[in-house]
Copies of this chain bind each other. A is one copy, B any other.
Amino acid sequence: MPEVDAFDLKILAALQDDGRLTNQQLGDLVGLSASQCSRRRMRLEEEKVIAGYHADLAGEALGFGLIAFIHITLATHSPDNAKRFRELVNRVDDIQEAYALTGDADYVLKVMLRDLKSLSDIVNNVLMPHQSVAHVRSSIVLDRLKESTKLPLKALQE
């Protein structure tokens, strides 16, 4: 169980906003020296509180204009079937996120694609024919109101 104090939270919040902050900039923001920020950052990385750093790319600029959620119901709930479905999910790069859910469907997938034809390809040629899949229903994203993976750390800083 990693210990995270108020300085750590500030550092995490800052790096969540800008993952390429210099230790000096970080120090100015949180009120520590650069060396100390370097040490804390290394510790947080070591403890896997910071899982990694990633560039956030503009999907539209690169031709990925379509986001969709695909709800999946499995044919049976046998372990074998679930395993096969997991392998499928990991194999397909277009699937960005995949969750097992309570409620109507068994799984929901988030995909980012070039166009509707690509979605049709995925659904009809990859998912539907797979032996583990019984039912597929997709919802197309019309508008992105908000999209970030930032945790609300402010709530912890009281």
Which residues of A are in contact with B by a Cβ distance under 8 Å? 2, 4, 12, 15-20, 47-59, 61-64, 67, 69, 86, 89-90, 93-105, 107-108, 112, 137-156
Contacts and interface: CB of A to CB of B under 8 A. Distances in A.
A145 to B, nearest CB: 4
A103 B12 CA distance: 37
Given A53-B54, A151-B62, A143 B19 contact: no
A103 B137 CA distance: 9
Contact of A57 (B99, B100, B141, B151): B151
Nearest to A4: B62
A55 B16 CA distance: 5
A143 to B, nearest CB: 4
Nearest to A17: B54
A4 to B, nearest CB: 7
A-B CB proximity, top 5 nearest: A19-B53, A15-B55, A93-B152, A98-B145, A100-B143
B89 A145 contact: yes
